């Protein structure tokens, strides 16, 4: 049964035109008419839209909705996999296999390039990057926390040494079978070691082969500006709700030199609240009539799936 979903998708594609928007198809073709790899698509999107908005998706259907909403890139959060797919907190419990399962389903459902949270790279970062490329991901980010990681916006995070993180990045680079695949290094150092040390770490990560930097839990536009000025490569700002980073606007982040803006779990949080309200209403009232207005209709679902 492991490959049942993939087989079903393949069969449907032979008989039904699944949702692949014209915008998505155009994004996957180079000016010379050659199909771009997922990594090249992500780099092209970054050139076309600066800062590039990247929205988190927790499953294949969410990816379809993101594409229909006009986004040019999407993201699979490690917390999203842990919370939504496995029902556990994001504390390093999930495995490479858990994440790859969701990666494959998402990349089969949309043309958008997918950036994937690869935690610390697991036991074998070289193997991890190869499997991510095979699964259709456009890029991954790995972080400098210890393997028993914590959410980037919680206290008590522990980091590996700069040398250990550099070794992780070099292993990922050595395993990269497509040079366009994006290697992003995330540093959580600002919270515990200060901004200057976080930037110093990021410079080492860049020099080791990171194409982009994920600067986690920064608290001011000035902090982002210093990162961007020092690193000279694209900086990602994680604009997650209820965390340490203020909800800066796209315009504000652009003024600070940020290259990519991530909204990792925004839709997931809204989905959860809506689902809980519906469950509670049905349980309390014995009917769903009072919450129909909150539901997507069958016709709207079929339209999103291009099912006729």
Residues labelled as active-site residues: 75, 90, 117, 119, 141, 143, 151, 186, 216, 238
Query: What is the per-residue DSSP string for 240-290?
Result: -TTSSS----HHHHHHTT--EEEE-SHHHHHHHHHHHHHHHHHHHHS-SGG
Q: What phi and psi, each to the nearest 5 degrees, are found at residue 237?
A: -105, 125
**DSSP per residue, 195-248:** HHHHHHHHHHHHHHT-SEEEETT--SHHHHHHHHHHH-S-EEEE--TTSSS---
Spatial separation of the C-alpha atoms in residues 242 and 55, rounded to whole Å: 16
- For the chain, how far is it from start to end, CA to CA, in angstroms? 27
> Largest Cα–Cα distance in the chain?
61
Report how far residue 243's alpha carbon sits from residue 5's, in angstroms, rounded to the nearest whole number.
35
Structure tokens at 241: 């709700």
Mapped onto helix, strand or coil, the DSSP state of residue 132 is helix
Question: Which residue is associated with the tokens 């456009």?
Answer: 138
Sequence-distant contacts of 11-19: CB under 8 A, at least 24 apart? 16/306, 16/307, 17/306, 18/109, 18/305, 18/306, 19/64, 19/67, 19/68, 19/109, 19/110, 19/304, 19/305, 19/306
Give residues with Cβ within 8 angstroms of 226, minimum separation 6: 195, 199
């Amino acid at each position: 049964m492991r490959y049942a979903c993939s087989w079903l998708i393949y069969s449907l594609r032979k008989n039904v035109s699944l949702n692949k928007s014209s915008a998505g198809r155009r994004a996957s073709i180079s000016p010379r008419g050659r199909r771009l790899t997922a990594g090249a698509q992500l780099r092209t999107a970054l050139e076309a839209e600066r800062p590039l908005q990247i929205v988190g998706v927790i499953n294949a259907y969410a990816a379809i909705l993101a594409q229909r909403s006009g986004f040019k890139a999407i993201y699979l959060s490690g917390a999203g996999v842990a919370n939504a797919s496995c029902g556990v907190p994001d504390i390093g419990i999930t495995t490479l296999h858990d994440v790859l399962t969701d990666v494959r389903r998402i990349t089969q459902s949309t043309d958008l390039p997918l950036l994937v949270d690869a935690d610390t790279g697991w036991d074998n970062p070289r193997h991890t990057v190869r499997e991510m490329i095979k699964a259709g991901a456009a890029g991954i980010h790995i972080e400098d926390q210890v393997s028993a990681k914590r959410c980037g916006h919680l206290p008590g995070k522990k980091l590996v040494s700069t040398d250990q993180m550099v070794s992780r990045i070099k292993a990922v680079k050595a395993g990269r079978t497509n040079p366009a695949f994006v290697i992003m290094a995330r540093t959580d150092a600002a919270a515990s070691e200060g901004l200057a040390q976080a930037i110093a770490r990021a410079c080492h990560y860049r020099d080791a082969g990171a194409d982009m930097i994920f600067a986690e839990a920064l608290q001011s536009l000035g902090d982002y500006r210093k990162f961007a000025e020092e690193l000279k490569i694209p900086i990602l700002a994680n604009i997650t709700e209820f965390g340490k980073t203020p909800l800066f606007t796209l315009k504000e982040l652009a003024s600070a030199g940020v290259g990519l803006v991530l909204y990792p779990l925004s839709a997931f949080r809204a989905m959860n609240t809506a689902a809980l309200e519906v469950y509670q209403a049905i349980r309390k009232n014995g009917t769903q009539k009072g919450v129909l207005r909150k539901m997507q209709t069958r016709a709207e679902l079929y339209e999103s799936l291009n099912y006729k």
